Structures are given as C-alpha cells and as structure tokens.
C-alpha cells in the first residue's frame, strides 16, 4: 500500500504517519528527515537544502524527486510506504505517478490533514523532536509532552527544537504550502483517493486521526 500525507507544516503529518507505519507495518519516508540529516552532516545536498529550508521555502523539485526515486528503490519499501512530505507540488505528484507506473504500482490513499493557522504556529513553537535520527519521535510540550522533560520516552535521547520552528518561518512555510501544494488536493480529489481530516485541539488530535484512518483502510 502506498499512502501520501498532505498538510501544511505543523498539522501533525509526522505523528500520524508514524502511528500508521507502526499499525500497518510499512515504513514512513520523510523527505524532511532526509534533508535535515544531510544538513546536520553538512553534505552537499544538505548545504543546498539549508539555503531553502532556512527561508521557509521548498527544496527544488529536481533535487527532491531524485531523492525520493532513489529511496523507493530500496528493499524495505517493496510492500508499501508512507510518504511524508512528498509530493508537495503538482510536478512532484505527476513525476511520482510515472515512477510508480513503471513498477505497476499506484497511490492507494492520500491523507489531507488540515489545522487552523494560529494553532499550527502554536504547535510548531511547542514542538520538540528526538535527536536520535533512528527514532525521530515527535512531542509537543503542551499537548503531548514526554514523561521526563527534554528526554525521549522511546529511546532516552535528548529532545531538541528545530531551528526553523519559529513563528516567522512557520508563516512563510504555510504560505508556501498554500501557493504550491494546494493544487494537489484537487489533483487527488479527481483521482478519488483523497481523505481529509481536521486535526485540532477542538476536534481530533493526531492519535485519534490515525486510528480513524487505520479503521478506514481495514474496512472496519
């Protein structure tokens, strides 16, 4: 099964994707994690990506597509994958379809998460992530705090705040998302595989949304 996660930064894509990965037994592939790993290791890709990400912009399609294409050739995604952060533009979506067709595969479900902008900014400001790249657990110090402050429940590593998790950059990232990624909603709606959920403290949180999606997939 191939699942795509859509949603502006801070809507909880990573949290929902992580739960789905565990429940469905297929890996979560996050382009954001790939970029951040390269930035931390100061690779050539990392240097290019940082120029865009630090300004709240998307990394160019040609770079992102090649990264995903290589990742989809790896053995662990043969039986399915949850794409978190890709595609983000119509061009990426069209290229993904071409890549999948070659392997007689298709996108089975597109999950579109929506959250009010003011709540996104609040969430991002309170977000903390595990410093262990093999763990990548995500917390919110208000809504979903770790049992021990600053320490990951899963692996015991220190939690950190991403450099781009600030209100100014978040607003730019949201606007970039609306400008470039919203057309994907129409694209996948026309294909009949879009599933939209509101993730909000006034409606449902990530864990509840993930459970709803698992039930839908399993036909419960």
Kindly report the CATH number assigned to the domain that includes residue 213: 3.40.50.300
* Confidence at residue 220, expressed as pLDDT on a 0 to 100 scale: 56
pLDDT tens per residue, range 55-88: 777 788 888 888 888 888 889 999 999 999 899 8
Over residues 162-170, the mean pLDDT reads 85
108 lies in some domain: yes
180 lies in some domain: yes
Catalytic (active-site) positions: 13, 88, 127, 162, 173
Nearest CA among 61, 60, 68, 59 for reference residue 2: 68
73 lies in some domain: yes
80 lies in some domain: yes
158 lies in some domain: no
Instruction: Name the pLDDT band for 128 (thresholds 50, 70, 90).
Output: very high
pLDDT tens per residue, range 10-51: 888 888 888 899 999 999 998 888 888 888 888 888 888 888
Q: Give the predicted TM-score (pTM) of the model.
A: 0.77
* Confidence at residue 172, expressed as pLDDT on a 0 to 100 scale: 86
State the chain's mean pLDDT as an integer: 88
121 lies in some domain: no
Is the pLDDT assigned to residue 211 strictly greater than 60? yes
Structural domains counted in the chain: 1
Which of 26-35, 155-164, 178-187, 196-205 holds the top average pLDDT?
155-164
152 lies in some domain: no
Q: Between these two residues, 161 and 12, which has the higher pLDDT value? A: 161
124 lies in some domain: no
Domain of residue 29: give its range. 2-115+167-218
Is the pLDDT assigned to residue 188 strictly greater than 90? yes
């Amino acid at each position: 099964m191939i699942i795509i996660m859509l949603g502006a930064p801070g809507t909880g894509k990573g949290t929902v994707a992580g739960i789905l990965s565990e429940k469905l037994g297929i890996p979560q592939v996050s382009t954001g994690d790939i970029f951040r790993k390269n930035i931390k290791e100061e690779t050539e890709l990392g240097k290019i990506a940082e120029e865009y990400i630090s300004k709240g912009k998307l990394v160019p399609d040609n770079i992102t597509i090649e990264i995903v294409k290589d990742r989809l050739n790896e053995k662990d995604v043969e039986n399915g994958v949850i794409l978190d952060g890709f595609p983000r533009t119509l061009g990426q979506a069209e290229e993904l379809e071409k890549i999948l067709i070659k392997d007689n595969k298709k996108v089975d479900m597109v999950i579109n998460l929506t959250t009010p902008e003011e709540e996104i900014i609040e969430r991002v400001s309170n977000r903390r992530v595990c410093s262990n790249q093999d763990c990548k657990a995500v917390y919110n110090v208000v809504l979903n705090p770790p049992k021990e402050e600053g320490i990951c429940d899963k692996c015991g590593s220190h939690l950190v705040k991403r450099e781009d998790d600030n209100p100014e950059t978040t607003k730019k990232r949201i606007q970039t998302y609306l400008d470039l990624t919203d057309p994907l909603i129409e694209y996948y709606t026309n294909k009949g595989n879009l599933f939209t959920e509101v993730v909000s403290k006034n409606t449902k949180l990530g864990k509840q949304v993930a459970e709803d999606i698992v039930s839908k997939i399993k036909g419960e």
